[in-house]
Amino acid sequence: MQFGLTDEQKMMQEMARDFALKEIQPTLKEDEANHRYRPERVKQMAELGFFGCALPEEYGGNGFGFLESVLLAEQIAKVSGSWRLPFNMQNIGPAVTVNKFGTKEQKERFIPNWVNADACGFFAITEPNSGSDVASMRTTATDCGDHWELNGQKMWISNAHVGDWGLVYAFTDREKKYKGMTCFIVNLKDNEGIVTAPIDTKLGLHCAPTGEIAFTKAKIPKDSVLGEVGQGFQICMWQLNNTRISCAAGALGIAGGAIDAAIEYANERTQFGKKIGAYQMIQAQIADMVAEHDAAKMLVYRAAWLKDQGLPNQQQTSIAKLFASEAAVHAASATMKIFGSYGFSTEYPAERFLRDAQSLRVVEGTSNIQKTIIAGIAMGDVPNR
């Protein structure tokens, strides 16, 4: 059993860490305050090969797998949880999913543009009244002969109002329930039937654009179907099992950033004549954070490794996502306590770590949904895929 990283993987970590510190950190406080998204930064990340993992080289892939993507995303999230999102939008979400279910023409047309960030990616599942219960979505796609017509609304969609090409899930036959859902590759631009709007009232992830999409008799080409008509639910579940590993990587990064900040502050701040890190209560908090983070790291890396080996991993991925996201919230909360009053100030990163960490309990399946998946597989109700 190997626990070490290769020299190449360590170099990738260092490259991502370097990028985060030199390109993201200098403007982060200002960008957070102004909810600023920088598309040119996504392009920079693409040029470094960040979005080529788990994809064939013929479509722009870099020859690496899910584990390398996790290592990259973790280092970026250590500085900013917001800038972990492009890994899902450009790579692990649409690109990897089209590579699995798409035709050769679809792969050639779309994947390279996501990998090199010429197209801004997204995937649209959640609706105003449909979250964890994916099959309750109301968006429909009607076959009109020479085109499909989309009607409905998507909510809380990353990159909604800045996105170009991405995946949209809709019902083509509601009577068939799960088997009546279909996935479409959709262009959000230059379509009079599609209107997007930003959501600026978020607690965290202020540099990651989030919005809503409204489809009103939106015409999309007949060749927009990904996979087969009626295969959408299967595609959606397969995709979420991948994108949640990137969320788990984001949790590792946020927790790691919070722990580093807590340790630095505990070694600098003095009370009653000595640094606060000398007090056992502070040490106990840091010890718990470090132990949980180390355990989370092993779980996330294991799940990513299983994916790269083509082995069953759904349960392990949900375990990783559940544990890592909860550990990140705990680490961020403990960091705020260690910072005391300064933790409540936007002048320090503690409050941002806590705000950003909260999202990871919700996205790509809430913590409760992860528990349902884990228990269902453990009890033999469903197989581990």
Which residues are tagged catalytic? 364
As given in the structure block, the two tokens for residue 241 are 């099992």
Question: E strands along the chain, which residues?
Answer: 123-124, 140-143, 147-158, 165-171, 181-187, 194-198, 210-221, 225-226, 270-271, 274-275
Count the neighbouring beta carbons within 10 Å of the beta carbon of residue 350: 27
Give yes or no for a contact between 189 and 240, defined as CB atoms under 8 angstroms apart.
Answer: no
CA distance 97 to 90: 11
- Antiparallel, parallel or unpaired: β 165-171 and 123-124: parallel
**Cα-based distances in Å from 38 to 45, 82, 187, 268:** 11, 11, 21, 34
CA distance 306 to 309: 5
Taking the CA atoms of 154, 155, 161 and 162 in sequence, report the sign of the dihedral they define: negative
Q: Which residue has the tokens 């597989």?
A: 377
Task: Tell me the chain's radius of gyration from C-alpha atoms.
Answer: 21
**Cα-based distances in Å from 55 to 114, 278, 314:** 11, 48, 20
As given in the structure block, the two tokens for residue 4 are 């070490």
Contacts of 333 (CB under 8 A, 6+ apart): 354
